[in-house]
Chains A and B, each alone.
Chain A
């Protein structure tokens, strides 16, 4: 494409049904006051 460069395709991975819940809670980290969830890793290796 000439006008558009996609740097990331769909990143909102939809797991079946529910999340597996194995990921870290988001405030257990450097922020401890402002929640950013998007910088966490998914820990589900079966995807």
Chain B
């Protein structure tokens, strides 16, 4: 399987099964409408009015060479449904099911996840770390993300959990990476210093321009939040040095021109930006619908222009979805299995209950167990382990499958009621982002 497209002035073809990427000229691009590796004569008869026989022959011989090298028309040889070892390597700790903001689009019901507002106790945090270590098998690199609600509402417990983690990782020959997501309200000097010393990645939420942010991200007494957080974030990144962070926003129908928000954030001095589409049902007035798609795809084009321009002027920024690594990317097993929700990644509710991921927290039908279980076994393992690209009909035939890995199970489940049926609008955006990410590499390659 291959996928070809035009990006700016570049004709690009991706060989899906090998992962090879080629920039081709117009004649090869046209030939690939017809050529399947063994039907030269058909190509000659269809294109003889446009190109000379010699040109066509020359181009086809180059295509044949790629084929002989396994870089075009390569076979899909990966189909494997082997169960992996059921180990857990990452957890998302919902340390606070409470929030000091009241964002309109919050999937966590303003922090409570449709349950009661509560904070995780230190006991539960410790039990979660023990659970992770105990169930991580031979994996050395483990991840613990502090999430909420707003995790900084339970800052003292976070600090204790990190100290505990540092102690037990050594004894168990593990390395825990701590990360945190915050809305920025409580980011004072003490917390900034602590986070910079202890967290390997930090996600700072803000949607972009003041009016865009303040439309959705509101305080409980219905005021905007931009002015409350922007200085905190600026202070934070000034002290972050080389540490990884992302400024992360959500776009909705209300800001379909979200490339302006990325621009705004970059102009503020933030270097790593991620803007994600809101995923909600159509009845919400800010929902992204199919008719918004053209505008959104066009925004990704604009973002690509911005990215290329800045790169050429040595003012690189990092847009999360344009980060595709064509050389050292993940192995094919990872690409087949995707995010790991419900198998190697789980979310822990404040009371210690385990769910397949942060977006399933509170869904009792999908509760896996508890970090307090003495005999933990994951009854949902097979369901999630089997929710991979070869078992999702749409993904199997999709050119983007090895980049996207089958999309977000939670989006599929919430939008289509079926984890195996990807959320279509999300697919179109994902495919566009991948085209742009690879296209950018092609434009910038020497």
Which residues between 1 and 33 of chain A lie within 8 Å of chain B, taking CB atoms?
Answer: 1-15, 18-33
Contact status of A11 and B327, CB under 8 A, knowing A19-B333, A38-B434: yes
CB pair A36 B321 closer than 8 Å? yes
Q: Give the docked Cα–Cα distance between A1 and B27 (Å).
A: 13
Contact status of A37 and B23, CB under 8 A, knowing A3-B59, A30-B246, A43-B141: no
Q: Does any Cβ of A come within 8 Å of B19's Cβ? A: yes
A2 → B minimal CB distance (Å): 7
Give chain A residues whose Cβ lies under 8 Å from the Cβ of B17. 12
Q: Is the interface of A mostly helix, strand, loop or mixed?
A: loop
Closest Cβ neighbor of B88 among chain A residues: A25
CB pair A10 B276 closer than 8 Å? no
B60 → A minimal CB distance (Å): 10
Give chain B residues whose Cβ lies under 8 Å from the Cβ of A25. 89-90, 143, 339-340, 344-345
Contacting chain A: which of B38-46, B206-214, B397-405? B397-405
Contact status of A12 and B141, CB under 8 A, knowing A31-B320, A36-B430: no
CB pair A42 B329 closer than 8 Å? yes
Contact status of A7 and B442, CB under 8 A, knowing A28-B179, A31-B320, A39-B321: yes
Closest Cβ neighbor of A37 among chain B residues: B405
Contact status of A8 and B328, CB under 8 A, knowing A33-B279, A33-B411, A39-B320: no
Number of interface residues of A (CB under 8 A): 42
A33 → B minimal CB distance (Å): 5
CB pair A13 B331 closer than 8 Å? yes
Give chain B residues whose Cβ lies under 8 Å from the Cβ of A38. 324-325, 329-330, 335, 402-405, 434, 437
CB pair A34 B426 closer than 8 Å? yes
CB pair B325 A37 closer than 8 Å? no
Closest Cβ neighbor of B321 among chain A residues: A36
CB pair A26 B405 closer than 8 Å? yes
Among B65, B334, B441, find the residue whose CB has the most chain A CB atoms closer than 10 A. Answer: B334
B63 → A minimal CB distance (Å): 8
Closest Cβ neighbor of B107 among chain A residues: A33
CB pair A27 B357 closer than 8 Å? yes
Q: Give the docked Cα–Cα distance between A21 and B326 (Å).
A: 19
B51 → A minimal CB distance (Å): 11
Instruction: Choose one: A4, A9, A23, A33; the contact of B334 (CB below 8 Å).
Output: A23
Instruction: Choose one: B246, B332, B338; the contact of A14 (CB below 8 Å).
Output: B332
Q: Give the docked Cα–Cα distance between A5 and B20 (Å).
A: 11
Give chain B residues whose Cβ lies under 8 Å from the Cβ of A1. 62, 65
Give chain A residues whose Cβ lies under 8 Å from the Cβ of B28. 3-4
Give chain A residues whose Cβ lies under 8 Å from the Cβ of B406. 35
Q: Does any Cβ of A come within 8 Å of B158's Cβ? A: no
Give chain A residues whose Cβ lies under 8 Å from the Cβ of B410. 33
Contact status of A33 and B276, CB under 8 A, knowing A4-B24, A25-B345, A27-B339: yes
Which residues between 99 and 123 of chain B lie within 8 Å of chain A, taking CB atoms?
Answer: none
Contact status of A39 and B323, CB under 8 A, knowing A19-B331, A24-B143, A30-B248: yes
Among A11, A13, A42, find the residue whose CB has the most chain B CB atoms closer than 10 A. Answer: A11
Q: Does any Cβ of A come within 8 Å of B87's Cβ? A: yes
A26 → B minimal CB distance (Å): 5
Give chain A residues whose Cβ lies under 8 Å from the Cβ of B201. 28-29
Instruction: Choose one: B89, B181, B203, B276; the contact of A21 (CB below 8 Å).
Output: B89
Give chain B residues whose Cβ lies under 8 Å from the Cβ of A33. 276-277, 279, 359, 408, 410-411
B400 → A minimal CB distance (Å): 9
Q: List 5 A-B contacts (CB under 8 A).
A: A10-B18, A34-B429, A37-B334, A38-B324, A43-B141
Q: What 20 new A-B contacts, CB under 8 Å, besides A1-B62, A12-B335?
A: A7-B22, A11-B329, A12-B78, A14-B331, A21-B87, A21-B139, A21-B344, A22-B141, A24-B177, A25-B90, A25-B143, A26-B338, A27-B408, A32-B248, A32-B358, A35-B339, A35-B408, A38-B403, A39-B320, A42-B328
In order of increasing CB-CB distance, the 3 nearest A-B pairs are A19-B333, A30-B274, A11-B19
